[in-house]
Amino acid sequence: MKAVVLVAGKGTRMEPLTSDCPKVMLQVANKPILEHILNAAVEAGIEGFVFITGYLEEQIKAHFGDGSKWGVSIEYVQQKEQLGTANAIGYARGHVEGTFIVLNGDMLIGQEDLKSLVSRKEEAVICVKEVENPSDFGVLETENNKVVRIIEKPKNPPTNLANAGIYLFRESIFDLIDKTQLSVRKELEITDSIQMLIDSGAPVGYSPLEGRWIDIGYPWDLLKANEHLLKDLVGCCEGTVEPNATIKGEVAIGKGTLIRNGSYIEGPVVIGENCDIGPNCFIRPSTAIGNRVRIGNAVEVKNTIVMEGTHVGHLSYVGDSVIGRRCNFGAGTKVANLRHDGKNIKVMLKSRILDSGRRKLGVIMGDDVHTGINTSINIGVIMHKGRATLPGEVVKH
């Protein structure tokens, strides 16, 4: 069986992290989001993949190639114009036969749930997740264990079964996609195609997700995914740890990495290749440090994603943050991550104020940001690619 994976979008809500990187290639637990999805699908028995690509597709192709590294085949089909989910899935016509599954490249799902999905025999199956706020999702109305209607963001939801955006289809879905009309959002929605299938009398089932399901829609969702994935980390050391460094818990250290004396690392923590860590730094749980990262003397890093090539200069603190590639923290840079009143941190994103849902959130920092010495960065700040601060600057928004 093959999996069609939708990876064409830029992920505008993830800016500035996606300025030069497809959303699906952002690193979580030191691997691209898409690689975690592929690994789960391979474990579930999927042997072939069709990636529906678009934005910066060359980065995806360069990383995954023909799939031989994972023992699978990967085909690439470019979605020339992004007109919705039905349009994207339609590009897989001629590349799949019989039954296939559809995955979103920004949704993490457990392998056991995928195994359950691929074993189903109906004409179509929709994965669902029981949620507390179903009115924020597409909701399934069911009868006799079958789907009878899909309702987008209903005011009075008939169930708490949210559409998780993961499907099993047969080739018959392509004929219905051809008949699908533009929605009020001016998109071709796969849920409209499925509703036509239901109305034709074909059996459409649903499959509850029992394991993880993380929809990575906003930058801070990367932290949630990172925390979750690192829970399964098994420690290993392929680098060098000097005798007076302390490694506690599950810590994975990559090739060519040096952990200097006085460093204290408390897992789960993953550190990439050719990093220089310490001396006398404190790296706390749920931290992922990419390749070629420098963590200086007397630095504390906590629950943070630090992407490749970044330097965090001595006497700095960063917590609950996502730091892009090739950034440089001047000495004494401090990141705030907690409101005085303890309430959820709000973020200004594309002129909208959003509740992050997180009590602790530091900075979302794009690539190539440089901070001057003794810079202070307030909670929930987004710093765009190439931004620089002066010595002693306070970044409030």
Residues designated as active site: 314
Are 341 and 323 within 8 A, CB to CB?
no
Query: Going by C-beta distance under 8 Å and a sequence separation of 6 or more, which residues neighbour residue 62?
Result: none
| CB of 3 closer than 8 Å to CB of 99 | no
* Virtual torsion, Cα 57, 61, 63, 64, nearest 10 deg: 130
Rounded Cα–Cα distance for residues 52 and 377 (Å): 38
Cα separation, 111 vs 304, whole angstroms: 26
CB-based contacts of 29, cutoff 8 Å, min separation 6:
36, 225, 226, 229, 230, 233, 270, 288
44-48-59 Cα angle (round to 5): 105
One-letter amino acid for residue 73 of the chain: S
Please give the DSSP secondary-structure letter assigned to residue 182. Answer: P
Residue 365, SS3? strand
CA distance 227 to 305: 10
The DSSP code for 180 is P
**Residues ≥6 apart with Cβ < 8 Å to 228:** 108, 212, 214
Residue tagged 């529906």 (tokens):
52
Among residues 288, 317, 292, the alpha carbon closest in space to that of 303 is found at 288
Cα 204 to Cα 315: distance, rounded to the nearest angstrom: 58
Coil, helix or strand at residue 41: helix
C-alpha distances in Å from residue 323, one per residue of 132, 221, 288, 320: 31, 14, 10, 10
Q: Which long-range contacts (CB under 8 A, 24 or more apart) does 281-289 make?
A: 284/319, 285/230, 285/249, 286/223, 286/226, 286/227, 286/230, 288/27, 288/28, 288/29, 288/30, 288/226, 288/230, 289/30
